[in-house]
A = this chain, B = another copy of it.
Amino acid sequence: MDQLSATFAALADPTRRAILARLTEGPATVKELSEPFDISGPAISKHLRVLEKAGLITRGREAQWRPCQLDATPLKEVAVWAENYRRFWDASYARLDALLTEMKETDK
């Protein structure tokens, strides 16, 4: 699986997106991350492994804790990818796009 696919797949789960949102407030332990959810520890562990494989989090070791930290680098790729479609949802960008195309035509 390529990087971008792994990132999108990781983001497709609301629990994982909520974990990322929580991590924007700073590092957290697995226990802290699992608190808002009504699911078992192993389930959280699996989500964290998916996020780690996608490069969205990094994990350290401090005694018996495994603190998780956000790594937003793959999200930049997501933003860049989505931006390529901006002209298809943004009307003003579409007009600019048409203008540039027209200018290129008259150049020839």
Contacts and interface: CB of A to CB of B under 8 A. Distances in A.
A12 to B, nearest CB: 4
Interface of A: 2, 4-5, 8-9, 11-14, 17, 20, 24, 70, 72-73, 75-76, 78-79, 82-83, 85-86, 88-90
Contacts of A5: 12-14
A41 B108 CA distance: 40
Contacts of A90: 76
Given A9-B12, A12-B12, A13-B5, A83 B89 contact: no
Contacts of A79: 79, 82-83, 85-86
A70 B88 contact: yes
